[in-house]
Structure formats: structure tokens, C-alpha cells
Amino acid sequence: MKFKFHKVFVKHFDKRIKPQQNLLQQYITRYQLFIIDRKNPLLNDHQLTGDLQGKRSFNVTGDIRVVYRQIESEAMEFLDIGSHNQVY
């Protein structure tokens, strides 16, 4: 599977996640899990509604989310990362 990272995702990752070592490690763990099994219950992967309809989200922690979309049959684009309030 291929992954693309939107410029907003990269900007927010660098600002919100990278400086906090514990969040960075949790992201890495969940990202690896996402690659192996998107349906794993730990991820709480789900479809979004409203303004974000057509996109999906998974949990990094209880409050940190990754918003993404499938752009091809074997490609995902990560759009944003942050707390529930920051990404929704």
C-alpha cells in the first residue's frame, strides 16, 4: 500500500506530534498497526460525516486522530492529525 501525506498533515505533524516524544512513539505504533490491519479495534477506524464526508479517521491516542482518505485502490492520503477538536 502507498501512503501520501498532504502538506497540512505534515505541518500539523511537525507542530503537534513530533515535539512530544510519547505522542511520536504512539503515532509510529498506530501507523504500523494501520499498515498491517486497518480494521484492528485499537484504531477505531471509522467513516466521517458532515463536512468531512468521504474521509475516514483512526485513533492514535484517546484524543489524537489521523484524518485520511483512500485515493486509489492501494493508496491512502493522510490529510490531518491532531486532537479531536483540532481536526474536526
Q: How confident is the model over 30-61, as pLDDT tens digits? A: 999 999 999 999 999 999 999 999 999 999 99
Q: What is the pLDDT of residue 39?
A: 94
What share of the chain has pLDDT > 70, as a percent? 100
Per the listing, cell 484504531 goes with: 43
Q: What is the pLDDT of residue 2?
A: 93
Q: What's the CATH code, domain 2-87?
A: 3.30.2310.20
Task: Give the pTM.
Answer: 0.94
Closest CA to 52 of 41, 67, 36, 72: 67
Amino acid code (one letter) for 17: I
Q: What is the pLDDT of residue 26?
A: 98
